[in-house]
Amino acid sequence: MIPSIKNICCIGAGYVGGPTMSVFADRCPNIEVNVVDVNKERISLWNSSNLNDLPIYEPGLKEIISRCKGRNLNFSTDVKKYIQLADMIFISVNTPTKKKGIGAGQASDLKWVEACARQVAEFAKGYTIVVEKSTLPVKTAEVIKKILDSTQTSPDKKFDKSFDVLSNPEFLSEGSAINDLENPDRVLIGGENENAISALSNIYKNWIPANKILHTNIWSSELAKLTANAFLAQRISSINSISALCEATGADVREVARAIGTDSRIGSKFLDSGPGFGGSCFKKDILNLVYLSKYFGLPEVASFWEGVVKLNNWHQHRISELIVKKLFGTTSGKKICIFGFAFKANTNDTRESAAIKICKDLLEEGSILFIHDPKVDPKQIEKDLGIKQSVLNGEISNVEHLSKYEGNWFFTNKIIPATYEADALCFLTEWEEYSELDWNLISQKMRKPAWVFDSRSIVSAKEVKKAGLNLWRIGDSSY
Ligand code: UDX
Ligand code: ADP
């Protein structure tokens, strides 16, 4: 019999759990959706009456939360209570790359997933379907299943319990998460038990056509997630490698991308050369593939995928190096504005952002950075750079005393004033507002010779040149 799901618990109220469960609650008003997290601060932000305080910025999210919170969507730290109530439990916790021990630097650290599985094993009642949502290495379902099964045989059989484990990887992309959840290209469900698979399919069928819901075995589902991200990241490393060649040869990477993208076998998406891919998934997933390949005795496969990450690291350093080179070989004591710190536009997420590496390199060179981002909290930047932000005593225009801030950074929420006496502006995230700047005004403010470094092809190249500024644009040597 196909179980009817009335109560869902999602463990982990992060970038995946929060938006995913909000859309579930919105589209399934008859299901009670409870999102739990051990992080009290995060939960209190989800519960804040001011929707501008949500812990995650995602277009369209506020509207859904205001419709569903208190109706059938609830955020709580009471993990035990909501596991007990649930017919279906999603595991949506963090799985960062291991820092030490076997597989350090490559394998995912599954300690949070394991802790979750133990909590579920302890508190769940009756029959429960457990769904892995976090990005996980292949065969994690097996680990979860083993932990869950061990309790079924435990001596104190207070409650009868039984479990099925499904893999239902998330393909949402930050910044467009709500649209990706509402109109996905496909939903993938991997598992063994047909009834459990149907129970989850039936939830999705509330808003997704049946032909977009794919069923596979559990290992294919887990591997498909890693492979999808690896293929996407590989495209970005491919186009970024070509950008360097374009700069050397006089070709323009935008023209090359357009030319190859019209080949229907290649397609036009994910061909924008930038400062290198970031985000919580790409690097982690590829390193997982590398680890798995090595583990299964396939070193050639491992080194093929490792190349994608190596190219990305090289590309990020290439950008900071060329900034230093263009500024006469030193940026020590020079004022550089960094526009954009998030790993891409429309998110406040900075995980693996290219801006982190590039800013660290520039600070190491003694630059004085003024960092702007419309959504990232300066406290997050402090954590990422490992350096506290400096505070200006007085006006931004009082640059004489800036020299004592070599190797330090300031946060600024004003674009134009920040450019005062700056030697260079560096665009690292493609925020829309950067495409509409008054370049004549900016040019009047900057110290000459002044440079604009555009790693996202976001500023108007013509306007920058017309305003008398030097320009470096990714994959283009014509300026
Ligand atoms: C990715 C996958 O797209 C998603 O399916 C998966 O579930 C999670 O990982 P996300 O990390 O949110 O999503 O962002 P994505 O839009 O894929 O971008 C990743 C990185 O690649 C960003 O730094 C982005 O700026 C960069 N990128 C993307 C490019 O440099 N050029 C492109 O053409 C596309
Ligand atoms: P993702 O991008 O995959 O959503 P995040 O780091 O944004 O990752 O979110 C994962 C969340 O999972 C964090 O808020 C973390 O506190 C939470 N978490 C981790 N382990 C547990 C656990 N055992 N019980 C409840 N919440 C957990």
- Could you say which ligand is closest to the alpha carbon of residue 284? 1
Task: Give the largest Cα separation in the chain, rounded.
Answer: 79
d(CA 22, CA 178): 9
Mean pLDDT of successive 10-residue stretches along the chain, which has 479 residues: 95 96 98 98 96 92 96 97 97 87 82 92 94 80 86 61 93 94 96 96 98 95 94 98 96 97 97 97 93 95 98 97 96 96 95 98 97 97 97 66 88 95 97 97 96 98 96 92
Cβ of residue 11 lying under 6 Å from some atom of ligand 2: yes
Closest ligand to the CA of 228: 1
What pLDDT was estimated at residue 394?
Answer: 64
pLDDT of residue 70: 93
Report the alpha-carbon angle 280-283-285, nearest 5.
85
The side-by-side arrangement of strands in the sheet containing 335-339 is 409-411, 368-372, 335-339, 424-427, 451-454, 470-473
Q: Pick the catalytic residue from 68, 281, 337, 359.
A: 281
Catalytic status, residue 225: yes
C-beta 271 within 6 A of ligand 1: yes
- At 143 the pLDDT is 85
Nearest to 371 by CA among 431, 312, 319, 326: 431
**Single-letter code of the amino acid located at 278:** G
* 170 in active site: yes
Q: How far apart, in whole angstroms, are the C-alpha atoms of residue 418 and residue 339? A: 10
pTM: 0.92
